[in-house]
Structures are given as C-alpha cells and as structure tokens.
Structure 1
Amino acid sequence: MYVSMKEMLLHAHNNKYAVMAINVVNMEQVKACIESAEEEKSAVILNISPRQMKAHAYPYIMAPMIKNLAERVSVPVALNLDHGVNYEDVVNCINSGYSSVMVDASSFAFEENIRRVQAIVTIAHAKGLSVEAELGHVGLAANADGQNADLYTDVKMAKEFVERTNCDCLAVAIGTAHGSYPKGMIPRLDFQRLKELKDTLNMPLVLHGGSGAGEENIRKVVELGINKINVCTDLMDYTKQVMLDTLQKQPDIQYMELNEAIENGMKDFIKKYMRLIGSSNRYTFEDCKVAELD
C-alpha cells in the first residue's frame, strides 16, 4: 500500500513502536526495503534527501517506481522527502508523487520556521500528504552538534510550534547527530527531555541521526515515544561492506548477481532493525487499517 506517513505513524504512536525511515537512491535499495517490510509485516518509510534527489535519485524515476512496488505489497509504504529546506524542492516532490514531505526550517528563527512549515502544510494536506517538521536542530556528528544542548528541542516552544503549524510529526533534537560519530563514541541522549516532549505533545515524534546511536539508546527512545527513526549512514556503510566482502569472495561474480547479493545483505540489516524498534508483525492485526492514497 502506498500511503502518507500520517496513519502509519499514528498507529506507531498509539501502539508504542517506531517505523524505520531509510534513505534510498536506487532500485536495489527500494526493493530491499519494501520486500523486508512485506516479509516482516512492518510499515516502512523511504527517504530521499535533496542532495540524493539531485545527484542520483531523481524524483521522476524514484516516485513512480516506489509507488508501483508499494502497491504490490500488503503493508504500508511511504515516500518522504528528507530535510527539504528549499520551497522549490518540497513542491517539486509533492508534484512528483511523493506521499510525504519534511520541511526542515530548523536552522531559521522560530517564527520563520513556523511560517515555512505552515506554507507547506497548506499545500500538502490539501493533496492528502503528511508533513514532518523539525524544531531544535539535529546537526552533524563531525561537529559534535549532538552534544550541544543549545540545539535541543525546547518543550514549551514545541507545543506552540505544533499547535500553530499543524504538522503531522515532529523531529526532535535530544543528542543525536547526522553522519558518523568518532570511532567508539556512543552519543548521550537526553531521555528526560524526550519524555517531557512526548507527554506534552502526545503525537508521533521523529529521531534523526539514528545511525551509530547504539542499540540500547534506540530501544530506550522507542520506549519513551519515538515513532520514526531515520537510518542512512549505517545502512550505506553496511551495504558497502557487503559489496566489498562479496567481491573478495567472488571476484568473478557477474554484475547482476552482485546486485542480488547486495540486496539480500541489505534485507538482513533492515529486518533486524525492524525487530529492534518493534515494527515487525504490526500489520497482521485486523484492527490495523491504513488509508491508501488515490
């Protein structure tokens, strides 16, 4: 089923689990994600960032392909623009057939962030799409932004932000960061802040920078109310290693067979992660209903 993120994340919110949001740039990744979701009876979100969209994963290729594959499975699949900063990029994805978009105006002042999110919510909701926003700022691991409490989400501001924007889910900053952490480092997360955010907002919350956060942290944030976890770096690194290992063991392997090996390797990672965050076997229950997009 090809759906917006709204219903699947509300289901995750009401049933206390998280959905994996995976950055994809090609058919093999898309197939691995959707096949894993079907086999695990889990919802899944496919993310594409503006950089990925412009360099390789073009919307006019990716959106129709993902929608076609999603309509062939029984579990909910969403295609989401990840970190849409420019208005033109967000509207392009809406018009290209994405089912959800993220407006990332977190680097702007509070009022400007609200204004930009409000503008996209008006357009997206009219077309049945969901909108993710971010308050606070999830920066870069290389800059140690995750440990800068000044960038964390303020609970009182978050309440006003959600009420004024009517966004469907909110990405919060509690100590994670994008990219790779220094070797051996596991980030320290502000669990108390997350609990207060969940209790105050009572809505689906999103964790960006899930890669490298450590399994214990991931389990804890899901327990405290995170319902969408973005995964990019971990899967990209894992996929690269699968490719290198396969070529080392089978240097004469043909290109198509190499792609198949990589796809199967990705599925192992994805399915294990889905079990970790509790999304497996959630779409076998009769009461789990998700409205499909036209």
Structure 2
Amino acid sequence: MLVTMKSILEKANEDNYGIMAMNSVNMEMIRAALMAAEEEYSPFIIQIGPMQMKNLGHSEEIVPMVQELSDRLKIPVALNLDHCGDLDIIIKCIKAGFTNVMFDGSNLPYQENIEKTRIVVSYAHANGVSVEAELGHVGQAVDNDDSKLDLYTDPKQAIDFVKATQVDALAVAIGTAHGNYPKGRIPKIDFQRLQELKKVLKMPLVLHGGSGSGDENISKAVKYGINKVNVATDAFKCAKSCITASLNKQPDLDYIHLCMSVETGLKHFVKSYIHILNSFNRYTFSQEFKDNCTE
C-alpha cells in the first residue's frame, strides 16, 4: 500500500529502527526492492532524483509502476522525490502521485532555506504529501565534504529550522557524503552530534550518503536516532556487478536473463540492508489484523 513517508517514519521513530530508501530508476530495481521488503515484512521507500528522472526513470512511468506494485503488497511503501530544489518539479511530482518530496535548500543561505522550505511544506501538506528537508550540507565524497565540520548540522539551529518550517523529516549532516569515498576510506560519523540532534528534535532523522559508510556505522547511526537511510551508489554498484558477473560466467547471456540477474542480486542486497537497519518483521499479518480490529 502506498502511504506518506511521514506515516512510515513516525513509527520508525517511535520504535527506533531505520528504513531503507533506495534510489530506483527502472522496473528491475523497484520490483526487487519491494519484493524483498514484502518478504521481510519491512516498510520501504522508493525514491528518485530529478536528474535520474530526466535521464531514465521518467515520473510518467515510475509513479504508476510504484502504485501498481504497492497495491499488491501488505507492507507500507512511500514514493519520495529525492534532492530537489526546483519548486516547479516538486509541484509536478506531488500532482503526479509522489507521497513525499525532499526540498534540498542546503546550499542556500539559512533564511532562504527556511522560506523556500516553508513554501514547499505548505503546498505539500495541503495536498496530503509529507516533506523532508536538509539542514547543514551533505556534500560529495570526492570533495571530502564528509570531513568538513562547517557543513555539519548545528543542533540549536536545527530546533529553529524545524519549528519555522514544520518539516516531517530532517536530513542531517554528521559525517557522510554522496558518491564514492576514496578507496579504503570509511567516513567517521559524529555520533555525539547525532545523539544531541535526536534529543532536541525528537523527530525522524535522515542519513544521506549511506553508500560506502560501512555496516557498523549504519547500524550505530540507527541505534542513535537515524530513521531513514538513503542508498543510491551501492545499489547501482550492485546492479552493475550482477551484470558483469553474469557476463563473465556466460558471455552470450541474453538481455532478459541479464535483467533477471540484476533483480535477483538487488533483492539479496535489499534484504541484507533491511536487517542492518532492523526494519524486518515490522508489519506481519497478525499485526495488521490487530490494527484493523482496533480501528
């Protein structure tokens, strides 16, 4: 079932677990993720960014696909527009059926970030859609942005930001970055800052740049308050490695079986991540039955 990201993250926040949000650009990625989540009784977030939509995963095809697959499942699924600073695109995606949008004003001056985030929140909430925003700035691993302390989220400023904007989830900068880290390097996460942010905000927090951060870091981040972990680079790597491995084993393998190998590999990848985030067995038949009886 397709729901707002807010409804999924609120439960994760209450019960202290994380939810995987995987950037997905085609049928194989979406189906692998949702089938894995269904089998693990885990909520899930499918997301896609503006450039990914422009290059391959057009919203006109992605939205109906996610809606159709979600309707077959018992688990809650959210469809999130990832990292968008264009208000026109945000409005278009809300009208198209996205259940959450992430307005990224982290590169803007603080007051401008607040003002534009408030506009997005006002429009989204009026249309039954939840909103994620970013404070601080989760930059690029190639630029070593994960180690630049001036980009990290300030807890005191975060209180003011959330109060002023009424966002439903906040992406925080605590030592991770997007893309590939230099070979052999795992980011150093500021867990003390994360704990302080969770203590003062008491709301769903989001970790961007989950790829390459290491299982131990991710698990610990969830323990200290992260409820949504964004995964893009590692998912795309997994898909590519499935194709490479299949062709190395069978050079004449046809396209259909290559697609099947990607879907199978991604399904295993997602299941593993779900266990790292401790989101498995959150939505069982008995729990659903119990919830329905109390409505």
In the TM superposition, 1:7-26 aligns within 5 A as: 7-26=7-26
Letter in 1 for 2:243: M
CA shift digits 1:129-165 (9 cap, x unpaired) = 1100000000000000010000000001100100111
Match of 2:221 in 1: 221
Letter in 2 for 1:267: K
CA shift digits 1:238-290 (9 cap, x unpaired) = 11011100011112222112211110010000000000110111111627999
Q: Runs in 1 of length 4+ with deviation above 3 angstroms?
A: 287-291
Match of 2:185 in 1: 185
Hey, what's the Cα distance between the residues in 1 that align with 2:25 and 2:118?
A: 29
Hey, what's the Cα distance between the residues in 2 that align with 1:14 and 1:260?
A: 37
Sequence identity (%) = 50
Q: Please, which runs of 5 or more residues in structure 1 have no aligned partner? A: none
Q: Is the 8 A contact 1:32 1:263 kept in 2?
A: yes
Hey, what's the Cα distance between the residues in 1 that align with 2:290 and 2:33?
A: 21
Hey, what's the Cα distance between the residues in 2 that align with 1:253 and 1:70?
A: 31
SS of residue paired to 1:286: helix
In the TM superposition, 1:34-183 aligns within 5 A as: 34-183=34-183
Hey, what's the Cα distance between the residues in 2 that align with 1:277 and 1:137?
A: 23
Change (3 A) 1:222 1:60: same
Match of 2:247 in 1: 247
RMSD over equivalenced CA pairs, Å: 1.4
Hey, what's the Cα distance between the residues in 2 that align with 1:11 and 1:85?
A: 27
CA shift digits 1:24-63 (9 cap, x unpaired) = 0101001001101101100110110111011111111101
Match of 1:286 in 2: 287
Letter in 2 for 1:191: F
Hey, what's the Cα distance between the residues in 2 that align with 1:33 and 1:74?
A: 14
Q: Is the 8 A contact 1:50 1:84 kept in 2?
A: yes
Match of 1:232 in 2: 232
Hey, what's the Cα distance between the residues in 2 that align with 1:254 and 1:57?
A: 23
Change (3 A) 1:290 1:203: farther
Hey, what's the Cα distance between the residues in 2 that align with 1:53 and 1:238?
A: 20
Q: Is the 8 A contact 1:114 1:165 kept in 2?
A: yes
Letter in 2 for 1:271: K
Letter in 1 for 2:287: E
SS of residue paired to 2:187: coil
Give me the TM-score of the superposition, normalised by structure 1: 0.97
SS of residue paired to 2:287: coil
Q: Is the 8 A contact 1:135 1:170 kept in 2?
A: yes
TM-fit CA distance, 1:126: 1.1
Hey, what's the Cα distance between the residues in 1 that align with 2:190 and 2:78?
A: 29
CA shift digits 1:112-140 (9 cap, x unpaired) = 00111110111111111110000000000
Hey, what's the Cα distance between the residues in 1 that align with 2:290 and 2:84?
A: 29
Q: Is the 8 A contact 1:8 1:290 kept in 2?
A: no
Hey, what's the Cα distance between the residues in 2 that align with 1:290 and 1:58?
A: 36
TM-fit CA distance, 1:108: 0.5
TM-fit CA distance, 1:196: 0.3
Letter in 2 for 1:218: I
Hey, what's the Cα distance between the residues in 2 that align with 1:167 and 1:142?
A: 29
SS of residue paired to 1:46: strand
SS of residue paired to 1:74: coil
Hey, what's the Cα distance between the residues in 2 that align with 1:289 and 1:41?
A: 15
Q: Please, which runs of 5 or more residues in structure 2 have no aligned partner? A: none
CA shift digits 1:62-120 (9 cap, x unpaired) = 01111111111000111100001111111111111111100000111111001111101
Hey, what's the Cα distance between the residues in 2 that align with 1:170 and 1:15?
A: 18
Give me the TM-score of the superposition, normalised by structure 2: 0.96
